[in-house]
Amino acid sequence: MNILVAGTVAIDDIKTPSSTRAGLMGGSAAYAAMAASFFAPTRIVGIVGKDFPVEHINTLKQRAICTEGIEHSEGDSFYWSGEYHDNMDQRTTHAVAVNVLEAYQPKLPASYQSSEIIVLANMSPKNQLDVLEQCSTPQFVVADTMDIWIQTERAALDELLTRIDMLVINESEAKLFTQTGNLVQAGHRLLQSGPEFTIIKTGEHGAMLFGPDRSFFRVGAYPLDSVEDPTGAGDSFLGGLAGHLAETRENVDFQALKHSLSCATVMASFTCEAFSVERLAAIDRAAIDMRLNTYAGYTQL
């Protein structure tokens, strides 16, 4: 099945305890599309400015990602600058420039509108709804969000949740959205908001899957000796999940999602091993399958 990934495409400057890098490709759609592209034909939707490096577009194309849906504007690209602290779990945002995103209205090429798996990566819920309106026959729709949209665009986010099949959200955002510190309660409350399934990402502790009739499943994160840059790991998780669903062509039920979580976890782990999408650009399918087999050995008796 074809995958459509819509979200942000950005320029990032990132500092970690060991290194500082500038002019990196970032954005939710870039990471998710790179991860998904190993498993099924992938199309990306987003907007970049006149300052966006052509080599970043070429990186996407080298993964056979269709970039027809990336709009090129005369403004400046979405920009983020951040610094990770010693534990690599906490970060400080130094600068954010919305730039071309401020007036962005997604326009899907005609060839994109029949995409079957729709990934609404993190961006304004109004933009996510705009994308969904242009999709003719989606088979499965998964969306991500973040705290700023929960706080500033709650009405649009509430509408979005009634029109998607799955919400993927991190631990702090789930607590903020549901106003509870109990993640099990939070998962079930999120389901009451509309989606049939919800995943709560818990960082280095893995992820929790919630479904109908109080069904529940949990996976741990893939163990890494070191983390170079965790930026985009959650977006790569999203892309890996969608990629597995598209490749297997299964009816998306709770059992299929349980299997997809391993793929999502492994793709997130690769992203953490290098800055930006550099690790995703360097690996091949054999490396992914090898890590999936290793991960299975870690999680099965």
- Domain extents in the chain: 3-299
Residue with tokens 């970690």: 16
- What is the per-residue pLDDT across 174-192, written as a single tens digit (0 to 9) for each? 999 999 999 999 999 999 9
Q: Report, as an integer, the average pLDDT of 23-30.
A: 98
pLDDT at 5: 98
Computed over every residue of the chain, the mean pLDDT equals 96
Q: In one letter, which amino acid is 63?
A: R
Confidence of residue 101 (pLDDT cuts 50, 70, 90): very high
What average pLDDT score do residues 118-123 get?
A: 97
∠ CA 204-164-80, nearest 5°, is 50
Q: Which residues are 127's β-sheet partners?
A: none
Given the structure tokens 């966006």, which residue do they identify?
52
Angstrom CA distances, 155 to 63, 78, 193, 197, stand at 36, 24, 12, 20
Length of the chain: 301
> In CATH terms, is domain 3-299 a member of 2.60.120.560?
no
User: What distances in angstroms separate CA 111 from CA 16, 27, 42, 158, one per listed residue?
Assistant: 40, 23, 12, 29
Span 264-288, average pLDDT: 98
Number of neighbours of residue 192 by Cβ within 10 angstroms:
10
Instruction: Reply yes or no on whether the pLDDT at 301 is more than 90.
Output: no
